[in-house]
Amino acid sequence: MSASPVSPVPPASPASPVSPREYGVFLPNAAGGWLVSTTAPYPPADYDHNKQIAKVAEEIGLDFVMAMAKWRGFGGSTDHWGETIESMTMMAGIAEATERVKVWATIHANMQNPAFAAKVFTTLQQISHGRAGMNIVNGSYADEFEQMGIWDADMTKDERYRMTAEWAHLVTRLWSEDSVTHAGEFYTLTDCQSRPHPVIRPEIINAATSPAGRAFQAQYADGAFLGADTLEDMRASSRDVHDRAASLGRSVKTYAMLTVVLGDTDADATARATEYGRGLDRVALANMRKSWGMPEERALAWAEGADGEQAFQTVYVAGGPSRVVEHIATVMDTAELDGLMLIFPDYLADLPVFGESVLPELRSLEGVRA
């Protein structure tokens, strides 16, 4: 497998100018959203609900909306993610319902052939008039693929990244070449055709934490989601991706995820977060860890001893508008990030407040017109 597409591919670019720092939302297309709790709001796995969230996100000036791909939930008293709606078809509808915000849909490289992916995202790019993004994932929850008979338990993490790199390599070739013939480690294409080609290449998005993942991001991604235990570690990862990409003559934006719990005051927001933590669904939490590969007894013991903060699936900030602005600015500056993907407990209630009292302050701090 060669290291880069055989012929040039049109560069990915947004449909309209965006701020140097991008802010978007992770849509709740799985029931329960991003809080594993009986006392938190419980967004439904419903297209109209997600469409409404996306439209509000666009109205307040956010830059992108993204939806995950999920095929099996985690049970418990919340039946967390037991109901989901599919990412690519949902985002096609949202692309039609919006005009400016970028629409990033998720696809599993271990499920879909590169030729299928190339065609679907070319179509999504037409529907969105140049706003589409492809979030590539390669599978980390074994049980959702075991139920389909497509999980290869013997595949190592390095092999999984080689598979995903070969997959991305072929997708980008199909977006630019009239015929692709390839006999590789994981895929075979023979005079494979995928026309029309996208006029603007869909942005490629990927989340990773390992060096192998960051190498993939540097070579193929336009947006890299990172995870780390500290802001200093996040900064090191962000610099690593930026430096690796620069060495290849590329530019990649780095992002992190953050859950925002807003209140009129810091005390209000803290009380809100504490209440969500009180309802932690420990069974669902244990099942999630088991799906990641943690042994059952260890997962159950870990979940039993977990505190309420584990109800949040990402790092979170709880506070009034000023505290949230300060926290986000600190995260962005310290970790040297290009953007954040935001999660809200109650999107339709929280987004308008964020758009009125937080986002303008962030734009002002950056010296960017909203």
Q: pLDDT tens digits, residue range 62-75? A: 999 999 999 999 99
In whole angstroms, give the CA distance from residue 237 to residue 225: 10
Using the predicted structure, report yes or no on whether residue 6 has a pLDDT greater than 50: no
Band the pLDDT of 143: cuts 50, 70, 90. confident
Which neighbouring-strand residues pair with 102? Answer: 64
Lowest mean pLDDT among 40-44, 66-70, 137-141, 146-150: 137-141
User: What does the pLDDT read at residue 43?
Assistant: 97
Pairing of strands 223-226, 188-192: unpaired
The predicted model scores a pTM of 0.92
Using the predicted structure, report yes or no on whether residue 310 has a pLDDT greater than 60: yes
DSSP line for 130-181? S-EEEEEE----HHHHHTTT---TT--HHHHHHHHHHHHHHHHHHTT-S-EE
The mean per-residue pLDDT over the stretch 107-113 comes to 95
- Give Cα 89 to chain centroid, integer Å: 16
**Which ranges constitute the DSSP H helices of the chain?**
47-60, 87-97, 114-128, 142-146, 157-174, 211-220, 231-247, 266-278, 282-291, 296-305, 321-335, 347-357, 359-366
Residues above pLDDT 90, as percent of the chain: 81
Band the pLDDT of 18: cuts 50, 70, 90. very low
In whole angstroms, give the CA distance from residue 305 to residue 282: 9
The mean per-residue pLDDT over the stretch 231-247 comes to 97
Using the predicted structure, report yes or no on whether residue 13 has a pLDDT greater than 60: no
The mean per-residue pLDDT over the stretch 90-98 comes to 98
Q: Convert the pLDDT of each residue in 344-355 to its tens digit.
A: 999 999 999 999
Band the pLDDT of 291: cuts 50, 70, 90. confident
Q: Convert the pLDDT of each residue in 157-195 to its tens digit.
A: 889 999 999 999 999 999 999 999 999 999 999 999 999
More confident position, 368 or 274: 274
Using the predicted structure, report yes or no on whether residue 234 has a pLDDT greater than 60: yes
Which neighbouring-strand residues pair with 182? Answer: 189
Which neighbouring-strand residues pair with 253? Answer: 223
Band the pLDDT of 5: cuts 50, 70, 90. very low
The mean per-residue pLDDT over the stretch 145-165 comes to 90
Using the predicted structure, report yes or no on whether residue 10 has a pLDDT greater than 90: no
